[in-house]
């Protein structure tokens, strides 16, 4: 309670000061761009000879964003806008002599590490949510949705149809873009949108923006958008219905489960229906995710499960409205990868589902999702429901509430034998405060789980605050999670503790305290762009408040102007091991108090080069033994078509006597060839001795029309011991077609 009161006081005290530092109205008065209706349709060809570009307002004064926010960028950028009844048009003229640096022609590669441009749009002008369209100098497109809580970067998972072309000249390159109004969700009658533009100039390793975004914030921070002033209020964009049917042919064999090979054909349908200008209904029938890239395997040297990111596009679109509760990646009530998996993480069929999402009005955003899975073997069908409401309050803050429900349609026999699996529900609320200038963040959330017969220790609470400036950043976070807090649709990293002596898993709640303190220095007129010094602490106590674990981490990073960096880190860990654990397969380490320290050093070379690499060495004590780890990757490029990345990890664990020793290898080379922006081929190999698995995944993609694709995917899995004994393999041919009605 004292902490909550302290946060509240800081928020109240900061409200006035923040308003004096950055005021939304004043900021958007300083950065304004006018847009006028085009006298004729614009031809998207990278040649700015349409009549509208002769009269459209030009914006040329860009500000540096990275590696520093001081001064002007080395290369000039000119941006113009126009529109007609169907499209928003944007034209960039990027002055740049010589060949552009393009790492890949692959779609959805994002805005980093390539010469490119981007448009950030906030049609609601809410300063919390929006859209990001990015384009590199060879016309590779990326697009995504932006949310207030997007701390881990963009996923580029949102897909929509838009049009672009680029053209190279002797002293510049030009990008011409047309974004259909139907692809955007905006309130009719609103004549002021939030907007920003970015330019990436890799020759100088510079990122610049039209508005002056401080270097300690991301370039797409919605609090630093300027204003797009329309010459008249936009009408409702009209009917927008998209049908995306697909058909797939599979040949599969599963020797691991003694299933003979078989071939089958299936079909399904996705649909996007605009119910209003800002509210969308997504439907899916018999969805298929066979074209999704396989998970990147990792070596797990922790006592807990590893969090793997969602990659299925249906669940990624608008995922922030459901997934940004709790601490995403550590403790969150909603984790969409639970949908379509049984208790042992084996896939089960998804029959279909629906998702309603968007803005009810300028300040209220909703998400409602329902998914139905089918039976597989002895596993019963299940239904998943998620409801979330976000309400914008104050300048940039959000109050959120949610309800989740998983229902297992078990037989009466199954309910009697395992009643806790019959159903699970979660509900909660959170308040996320962010000051107008983005320097102060504060949050509090309360979560409750419902299970048959459970009435106590079933809450999860979290609170904290952060402060972020150019030279200093800090975070303080406190969480408490009960032993009986279940998340049938979520993820909690520490709740399940494996007992290697009894080969069972025990649930134990916990409380944790996390603090982080960072200091940044920006030397001038040197090869170094930034020095960073960070100190982090992480402490965990058991439900009875007895000590469980404490981590201390000190690191120093030196970032150079040429994109390379070096990092040195020291780690000290102390823990009371609750249950025996083995990392070698030998006798488990006993329950005891362990103290150990490690050191690590990382060097990352210039990523703009055709040959680049990263190498990390770490070593020291590990429980009652020692560990040495070597991680590295080598990237070979033949720009812009070919990329070869060779990643490897070697871990040597040495424990005294009967606790054993082990050497773990993880090799994962990946080859990618982009014939052009429409045709690509990617092959990914993963050799993991810890998982006893060697995986081959090869994918060919041909985008024969905008958002319409043909995929040919081959996947194969083998044991590493005995070497190259096949587990299963499959080959899939899939075609989907984007149809606007």
Q: pLDDT for 279-316, tens place per residue?
A: 889 999 999 988 888 888 899 999 998 888 888 888 87
Grade residue 7 by pLDDT with cuts at 50, 70 and 90: very low
Among the residue ranges 61-65, 380-384, 666-670, 723-727, the one predicted with the least confidence is 723-727
β-partners of residue 368 are 356, 387
CA dist., res. 200 & res. 216, Å (int): 17
Name the DSSP class of 239.
-
Please give the pLDDT value at position 249: 94
Phi then psi for 687, rounded to 5 degrees? -115, 110
User: For 371-396, what is the mean pLDDT?
Assistant: 91
CA dist., res. 94 & res. 723, Å (int): 53
Model-level pTM greater than 0.85? yes
pLDDT at 66 over 60: yes
Grade residue 20 by pLDDT with cuts at 50, 70 and 90: very low
User: For 140-151, what is the mean pLDDT?
Assistant: 79
Cα distances from 539 to residues 475, 574, 695, in angstroms, run 14, 9, 37
pLDDT at 15 over 60: no
Please give the pLDDT value at position 18: 35
- Identify the residue whose tokens are 């044991």: 719
CA dist., res. 227 & res. 237, Å (int): 21
Q: What domains appear along the chain, each with residue ranges and CATH number?
A: 22-230 (2.60.40.1190)
Name the DSSP class of 327.
B
Say if residues 229 and 199 touch (Cβ distance below 8 Å). Answer: no
CA dist., res. 120 & res. 85, Å (int): 21
Q: Average pLDDT, whole number, for the chain?
A: 89
Residues ≥6 apart with Cβ < 8 Å to 65 = 198, 207, 208, 209, 213, 215, 219
Residues ≥6 apart with Cβ < 8 Å to 541 = 510, 511, 512, 547, 548
Q: pLDDT for 402-435, tens place per residue?
A: 999 999 987 655 445 567 888 999 999 999 998 8
Please give the pLDDT value at position 8: 43
Return the half-sphere exposure (C-beta side, CA atoms, 13 A cut-off) of residue 738.
14
CA dist., res. 697 & res. 540, Å (int): 39
Grade residue 706 by pLDDT with cuts at 50, 70 and 90: confident
β-partners of residue 131 are 121, 145
**What tokens does 408 get?**
């297992």
Say if residues 631 and 615 touch (Cβ distance below 8 Å). Answer: yes
DSSP 51-72: HHHHHS--B---EEEES-SSS-
β-partners of residue 197 are 119
Q: pLDDT for 283-293, tens place per residue?
A: 999 999 888 88
Q: pLDDT for 638-649, tens place per residue?
A: 989 999 999 999
Among the residue ranges 188-197, 459-468, 626-635, the one predicted with the least confidence is 188-197
CA dist., res. 293 & res. 416, Å (int): 40
Instruction: Give 343 or 264, the one with higher predicted confidence.
Output: 264
pLDDT at 443 over 70: yes
Contacts 24+ apart (CB under 8 A), 495-504: 496/304, 496/305, 497/303, 497/304, 497/578, 497/579, 498/303, 498/579, 498/581, 499/579, 499/580, 500/579, 500/580, 500/581, 500/582, 500/588, 501/579, 501/580, 501/588
Q: pLDDT for 152-172, tens place per residue?
A: 578 787 888 899 999 999 999
Please give the pLDDT value at position 23: 54
CA dist., res. 95 & res. 75, Å (int): 6
pLDDT at 447 over 90: yes
CA dist., res. 728 & res. 730, Å (int): 7
Say if residues 153 and 219 touch (Cβ distance below 8 Å). Answer: no
Say if residues 127 and 223 touch (Cβ distance below 8 Å). Answer: yes
Among the residue ranges 138-142, 169-173, 232-236, 588-592, the one predicted with the least confidence is 232-236
SS3 state of residue 167: strand
Instruction: Give 153 or 2, the one with higher predicted confidence.
Output: 153
Q: How many residues does the chain have?
A: 741
Residues 366-399: b if buried by 16+ CB within 10 A, e if exposed: bbbbebbbeeeeebbbbbbbbbbbbebeebbbbe
Indicate the helix (H) or strand (E) that contains 26.
helix 24-30
Residues ≥6 apart with Cβ < 8 Å to 335 = 310, 323, 487, 489, 490, 491
Grade residue 138 by pLDDT with cuts at 50, 70 and 90: very high
Q: pLDDT for 238-269, tens place per residue?
A: 778 899 999 999 998 888 777 777 888 999 99
Per cent of the chain over pLDDT 70 is 95
Please give the pLDDT value at position 24: 55
Grade residue 151 by pLDDT with cuts at 50, 70 and 90: low
- Parallel, antiparallel, or unpaired: how do β-strands 116-122 and 192-201 relate? antiparallel
Say if residues 7 and 14 touch (Cβ distance below 8 Å). Answer: no
Name the DSSP class of 581.
B
Say if residues 115 and 138 touch (Cβ distance below 8 Å). Answer: no
């Amino acid at each position: 309670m004292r902490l909550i009161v302290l946060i509240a006081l800081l928020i109240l005290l900061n409200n006035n000061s923040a308003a004096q530092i950055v005021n939304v109205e004043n900021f958007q008065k300083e950065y304004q761009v006018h847009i006028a209706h085009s006298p004729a349709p614009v031809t998207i060809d990278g040649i700015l000879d349409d009549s509208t570009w002769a009269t459209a307002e030009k914006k040329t004064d860009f500000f540096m964003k990275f590696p520093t926010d001081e001064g002007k960028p080395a290369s000039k950028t000119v941006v113009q806008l126009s529109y007609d009844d169907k499209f928003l048009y944007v034209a960039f003229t990027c002055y740049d002599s010589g060949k552009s640096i393009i790492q890949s022609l692959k779609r959805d590669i994002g805005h980093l590490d390539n010469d490119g441009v981007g448009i950030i749009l906030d049609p609601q002008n809410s300063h919390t949510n929006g859209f990001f369209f990015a384009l590199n100098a060879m016309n590779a497109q990326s697009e995504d949705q932006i949310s207030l809580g997007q701390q881990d970067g963009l996923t580029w998972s949102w897909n929509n149809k838009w049009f672009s072309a680029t053209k190279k000249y002797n002293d510049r390159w030009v990008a011409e873009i047309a974004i259909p109004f139907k692809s955007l969700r905006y309130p009719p009658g609103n004549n002021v949108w939030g907007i920003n533009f970015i330019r990436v100039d890799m020759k100088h390793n510079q990122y610049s923006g039209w508005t002056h975004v401080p270097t300690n914030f991301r370039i797409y921070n919605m609090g630093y958008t300027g204003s797009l002033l329309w010459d008249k209020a936009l009408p409702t964009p009209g009917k927008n219905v998209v049908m995306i049917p697909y058909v797939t042919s599979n040949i599969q064999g599963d020797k691991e489960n003694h299933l003979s090979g078989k071939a089958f054909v299936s079909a399904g349908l996705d649909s996007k229906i605009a119910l209003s200008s800002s509210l969308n209904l997504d439907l899916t029938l018999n969805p298929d995710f066979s074209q999704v890239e396989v998970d990147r395997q990792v070596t797990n040297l922790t006592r807990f499960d590893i969090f793997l990111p969602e990659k299925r596009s249906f669940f990624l679109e608008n995922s922030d409205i459901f997934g940004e509760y709790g601490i995403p990646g550590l403790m969150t009530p909603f984790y969409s990868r639970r949908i379509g998996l049984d208790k042992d993480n084996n896939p089960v069929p998804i029959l279909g589902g629906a998702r309603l999402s968007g803005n009810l009005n300028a300040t209220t955003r909703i998400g409602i999702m329902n998914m139905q899975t089918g039976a597989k073997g002895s596993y019963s069908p299940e239904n998943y429901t998620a409801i979330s409401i976000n309400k914008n309050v104050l300048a940039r803050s959000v109050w959120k509430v949610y309800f989740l429900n998983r229902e297992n349609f078990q037989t009466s026999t199954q309910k009697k034998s395992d009643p806790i699996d019959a159903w699970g529900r979660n509900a909660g609320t959170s308040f996320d405060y962010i000051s107008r200038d983005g320097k102060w963040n504060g949050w509090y959330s309360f979560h409750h789980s419902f299970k048959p017969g459970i009435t106590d220790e079933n809450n999860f609470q979290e609170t904290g605050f952060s402060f972020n400036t150019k030279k200093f950043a800090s975070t303080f976070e406190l969480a408490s999670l009960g032993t009986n807090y279940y998340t049938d649709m979520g993820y909690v990293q520490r709740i399940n503790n494996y007992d290697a002596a009894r080969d069972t898993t025990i649930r134990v709640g916990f409380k944790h305290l996390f603090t982080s303190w960072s200091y940044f220095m920006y030397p001038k007129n040197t090869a170094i762009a930034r020095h960073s010094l960070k100190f982090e602490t992480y402490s965990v106590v058991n439900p009875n408040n007895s000590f469980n674990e404490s981590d201390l981490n000190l690191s120093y990073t030196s970032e150079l102007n040429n994109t390379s960096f070096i990092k040195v880190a020291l780690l000290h860990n102390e823990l009371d091991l609750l249950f025996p654990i083995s990392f070698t397969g030998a006798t488990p380490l006993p329950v005891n108090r362990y103290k150990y320290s490690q050191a690590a050093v990382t060097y990352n070379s210039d990523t703009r080069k055709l040959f680049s690499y990263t190498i990390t060495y770490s070593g020291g004590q590990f429980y009652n033994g020692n560990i040495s780890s070597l991680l590295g990757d080598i990237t070979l490029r033949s720009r812009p078509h070919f990329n070869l990345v060779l990643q490897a990890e070697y871990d040597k664990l040495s424990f005294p006597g009967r606790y054993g020793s082990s050497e773990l290898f993880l090799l994962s080379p990946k080859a990618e060839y982009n014939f052009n922006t429409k045709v690509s081929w990617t092959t990914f190999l993963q050799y993991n001795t810890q998982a006893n698995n060697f995986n081959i995944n090869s994918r060919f993609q041909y985008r024969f029309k905008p958002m319409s694709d043909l995929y040919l995917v081959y996947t194969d899995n083998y044991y590493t011991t005995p070497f190259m004994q096949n587990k299963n393999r499959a080959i899939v041919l899939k075609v989907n077609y984007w149809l606007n009605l």
